[in-house]
Structures are given as C-alpha cells and as structure tokens.
Amino acid sequence: MYNIQTLNKISAIGTDIFDKSKYAIADAPENPDAIMVRSAKMHDMTFGSNLLCIARAGAGVNNIPVERCAEEGICVFNTPGANANAVKELAICALLLASRKITEAAAWAASLKGTPDAPKTVEGGKAKFAGPEIKGKTLGIIGLGAIGGQIANAAVALGMKVIGYDPYLSVGAALHLNPKVTVVAELNDIYKESDYITIHMPYTPQTKNTIDAEQIAMMKDGVRLINLARGELINSQAVVDAIAAGKVAKYVTDFADDIVLGVDDIIVLPHLGASTPESEDNCAIMAAEEIIDYIENGNIKNSVNLPNASMNAVGTKVCVIHKNVPTTIASITSAVGNEGINIENMVNASKKEYAYTMLDVVGDVPASVEEKINAIDGVIRVRVIK
C-alpha cells in the first residue's frame, strides 16, 4: 500500500483516480510515498525516506525545495497546461480591464446607492470612464508556452496584432500558434512595439525584474501592462513610478504587495488565474496520473528537477537516479551484467547535473544488485519495479 499525502485540498476527481486497493490518501500519513500539493510552503519540511515524488497541482513550484528534492532522489512534477485555459480567460479579462476603466466605473456607480436620481447620474457620468478598444492594437507576449500561446491565438481572434518572444519556444508550441502571431528574436522588440504587454514565464533569479525601469523606458507612452505569472517578474516600484510619470497607463496584476495596493491605475486581483473548478480538476487529474505512472512504472513526465524518461518494459525495471557524470551508466550496467542478468533495453536521459537510467532486465533482481548500484559514486536512488 502506497501512502499519498495531500497538503492542500485537492479536487476529488484527481484523488479518485488512485486505486484504493494500492493507495491510501490522507492529510498526514506517516512517511508518505508521494505528496500532492497546491500552494502549501514546503521549504521547511523534512522528507521521509519513503518519499518518491511530489506533484504540484499547478505550474509554479516556488513553494517546493526543488533542488533539495533532486539531491534526495525525490522527483518533483508540475502540471503544465492544465490551467492554461483558465489563465488565458483571465488574461483576456485583464486586457479589457486595462483598457475600459471597468472596475473604476463599477465602483463609482455603486457609490451612488441612495442618492437622488442615481440612474440619471450614472448615465451622465459615463464619459469620464472612456477607454480604448483592444482591436487593432499590438499585444506583446513574453513567453509563448501553454498559456502564452493560447492568449496569443485568442488575441488574434479579437482583432489584435500579436507579437511574442520566447527563446525556449518548442516546435510543438510553435505549431499551435496562429500564423498571424509574429515571433520576434529580441525581447526589446516587445517593449518597443507593444501597446499592451503580458508576461507568462517562470520566475527564477535570472528572470527577476524582467520588466524594470530600464525596460519601461523603451516602451510606448501609455503602454498597459499585465502580470498574471509571478509578482517578482515586474518591479512594482518601477511601475508605480512610471504610472505617476504618465508612461504606463494601466497595470493589472494578481500579485499584491504594499507598493501596488491602492495606487490609481493599478488593478490588483487575488491570484485568480487557476481559480476555476475546471482548472483545479485538470491539475488534480494530471498530478495523480504523474504520481501513478512514476510509482508503478518508473516513468517521469513533467518533472521540473529530473529528466523526463519513459519505457515500456517487458521484464523487471531497474530505475536509477544519479548524477550526470561519466562512467556512471557503465558502472550501473556492469553491476547488473556481472550477476548474469540480461539487459533487454535501456533508456537514459539527463537534465543539467542529474540523470535517470531505466533498465529492462530479464528475471528477478536480487537485493545484492541494488546494494551494488547504490554503492556506485554519484548514484542517488535505486528502485526495482516488477
């Protein structure tokens, strides 16, 4: 029986996927084999020896000690694309909120409750809430992955000119883009040419303040900015200063900090990107499927700290997480072959300093072979799956 711990409320449609004859789901099991998490902070947690993997029901993994997990042989998954449609819809909403002064108009209308001739006053005051249409304007998208690509296609359908930047654009993602989307080679082109800019990239130390005072200075006067990705990607103080100077017309973000709260022409929302029942269901289903495939088959898909790898084995699988250094694979295969065990197939993949090797072998693998593989310099974890 495998114990699955849930650190947050996970949609039942996801946890129901687990075969209850094999898996037990609980909030606080002793030494769990896997953890499902949404936003709970895990950096101060100590992980038990049984823990094989952590699945984040969402895209961002800032709440998980990803590097430490790799060092301990714990695979960390996320669920890319599961909430893409939900974020896309919020981004389209943000485009309109950035243009039409909708929130300000609604708040002003609500403030007139109980006043004489409120309907007439509301109708007469609409002129001060005028704003531009998005049709015909240029939308710059930083990041054309699962979310950014959907936003690009939706914006084209709404009549916008769309330009995008993504130095890691995959062939698959590119094929799903509307042909009218222009992919630019330089990030500065986004800053210089766009009327609206929305950012959809992961937060890392390298991407912190991707939009700062220097970048804002390149932009058109009256540019409108949207950040539904991570708060740290845009320098809040730089945006506030640019709004005060008239450079930025509007900023819509769902990351609150004390700098942006209560500032005119800044709309701050709760982090609503994935807050739809459909999105939560999709993330929970994908997270559960990732855990099951890894525990039962050793296959890795959508890992953020280990390489993706899969194998359809006919015999017993020997799965080894190890450092990506020379001679390790040879040492692993020798440890198996020296015991007279035949290797039918092998898969190896690497990701930065970590690697994952899967062997499909004939017959049983004695504990002594596991011990020999574990003793190899650079080996982090060994599992034998029958």
- List, for residues 167-212, the tens digit of each pLDDT value: 999 998 999 999 999 999 999 999 999 999 999 998 888 999 999 9
Number of neighbours of residue 245 by Cβ within 10 angstroms: 10
pLDDT of residue 126: 87
User: Do 126 and 211 reside in the same domain of the chain?
Assistant: yes
Instruction: Note the pLDDT tens digit of each residue in 329-338.
Output: 999 999 999 9
- Token pair of 224, please? 């409108």
User: Do 79 and 207 reside in the same domain of the chain?
Assistant: no
Instruction: Note the pLDDT tens digit of each residue in 218-241.
Output: 999 999 999 999 999 999 999 999
Q: Is the pLDDT score of 4 beyond 90?
A: yes
Report d(CA 82, CA 232) in Å as an integer.
23
Report d(CA 198, CA 91) in Å as an integer.
8
User: Do 252 and 125 reside in the same domain of the chain?
Assistant: yes
Which of 243, 268, 293 is where one domain is finished? 268
Q: Which of 11, 99, 4 lies closest to 58 in space, CA to CA?
A: 11
User: Given strand 223-227, what is the order of strands in its sheet?
Assistant: 182-183, 161-165, 138-142, 196-199, 223-227, 248-253, 266-268
Q: CB burial class (10 A; 0-12, 13-18, 19+) of residue 130?
A: exposed
Q: Is the pLDDT score of 361 beyond 90?
A: yes
Report d(CA 262, CA 80) in Å as an integer.
33
Number of domains within the chain: 3
**Mean pLDDT, range 210-215, rounded to an integer:** 98
User: Do 216 and 264 reside in the same domain of the chain?
Assistant: yes
Question: Model-level pTM greater than 0.75?
Answer: yes
Q: Which of 24, 26, 72 lies closest to 48 in space, CA to CA?
A: 72
Mean pLDDT of the chain: 95
User: Do 217 and 253 reside in the same domain of the chain?
Assistant: yes
Q: Which of 214, 253, 220 lies closest to 236 in space, CA to CA?
A: 253
User: Do 212 and 341 reside in the same domain of the chain?
Assistant: no
User: Do 52 and 101 reside in the same domain of the chain?
Assistant: no
Q: Which residues of 159-183 are buried (b: 16+ CB within 10 A; e: fewer)?
A: ebbbbbbbeebeeeeeeebeeebee
pLDDT of residue 203: 86
Q: Is the pLDDT score of 348 beyond 90?
A: yes
Residue range of the domain that includes 32:
1-83+275-305
User: Do 337 and 367 reside in the same domain of the chain?
Assistant: yes
CATH code, 190: 3.40.50.720
27 pLDDT tier (thresholds 50, 70, 90): very high
User: Do 247 and 291 reside in the same domain of the chain?
Assistant: no
pLDDT of residue 275: 85
User: 222 near 228, Cβ under 8 Å?
Assistant: no
Q: Which residues of 188-211 are buried (b: 16+ CB within 10 A; e: fewer)?
A: ebbbebbbbbbbbbbbeeebeebb
User: Do 78 and 91 reside in the same domain of the chain?
Assistant: no
CATH code, 315: 3.30.70.260
6 pLDDT tier (thresholds 50, 70, 90): very high
pLDDT of residue 169: 93
User: Do 1 and 150 reside in the same domain of the chain?
Assistant: no
Instruction: Note the pLDDT tens digit of each residue in 113-143.
Output: 999 989 899 888 888 899 999 999 999 999 9
User: Do 99 and 187 reside in the same domain of the chain?
Assistant: yes
314 pLDDT tier (thresholds 50, 70, 90): confident
Which residue carries 């630019």 as its tokens?
A: 184
Instruction: Note the pLDDT tens digit of each residue in 371-385.
Output: 999 999 999 999 999
